Amino acid sequence: MTQLDRTTPDVVKIPVPRSPLEPWTPTPPSGIRWMDAAPAPAEPAPASPRHSRRAWWIAGAMIVLLAVIALVAALVARANRTMTVQGSVVVVSSGAQLPGAPCLSSPVSGRSVSMWDAGGRLVAAAPLGSLGYAVDQWGSSTPFADGCRFDVLFTDVPANDRMYRVGVGSSVANTVPFSRDQLTTTGASITYGR
């Protein structure tokens, strides 16, 4: 390398257009928009806090309304809940009847069995048939029957109370207490005359 090469500055190379007929267009620096360029997209405006609060109030009001409707529906369903109760009345009988044979019992044949709620209101009544069937209820005259059984069915009994009373006839005086759970699981079986 010569002294002259060391002191001569390097020459900057300038790009030459490929074809002399094409016009050269410079690349615009960033941040400057040319007149014929498309405008930049506008940023969406942030949601107004007033509108978002209103949406929350509406959503909250809808949730509260649905909760109130569900509560009212549950209370109405509970108030209108009913149950069907199966039961029987066994009346003391005497004679040489075998269990399962048809029997008559004049004290209860054709009467009704009544059910009262905890407040003493009559909530259900069901008629007894005129014929029952002989049963060995107490084992006092085995192998013969010592009772006459009449089946009874109470329908649409309000299931709102915890305790009920069941008896033959229309007086609450000679009745047997039953819980709601007993009535729905084992039924109302009472004896009459013993």
C-alpha distances in Å from residue 17, one per residue of 6, 25, 86, 141, 147: 31, 10, 107, 130, 124
What's the Rg (C-alpha) of the chain? Answer: 48
The domain segmentation of the chain, as residue ranges, is: 82-192
d(CA 164, CA 113): 13
The encoded tokens of residue 29 equal: 């620096």
Question: What is the spatial distance between Cα 166 and Cα 153, in angstroms, rounded to a whole number?
Answer: 12
pLDDT for the residue 164: 93
CATH of range 82-192; options 2.60.40, 2.160.20, 1.10.10, 1.25.40: 2.60.40
**Can you name the residues that pair with 114 across neighbouring β-strands?**
125, 167
Q: Identify the pLDDT of residue 14.
A: 62
Start-to-end Cα distance in the chain: 140
**Segments of the chain scoring below 50 in pLDDT:** none
Tell me the C-alpha distance between 28 and 24, whole Å: 12
pLDDT of residue 170: 79
pLDDT of residue 166: 93
Instruction: Give 81-102 pLDDT, tens digit per residue.
Output: 888 899 888 888 877 788 888 8
Q: Are 193 and 91 in contact (CB under 8 A)?
A: yes
The helix/strand count (H/E) of the chain reads as 3, 9
How far is 174 from 167, CA to CA, in rounded Å? Answer: 6
Q: What are phi and psi of 17, to 5 degrees?
A: -60, 150
Alpha carbon distance 67, 90 (integer Å): 50
Q: What is the pLDDT of residue 174?
A: 81
Q: From CA 114, how far away is CA 131, in angstroms rounded?
A: 19
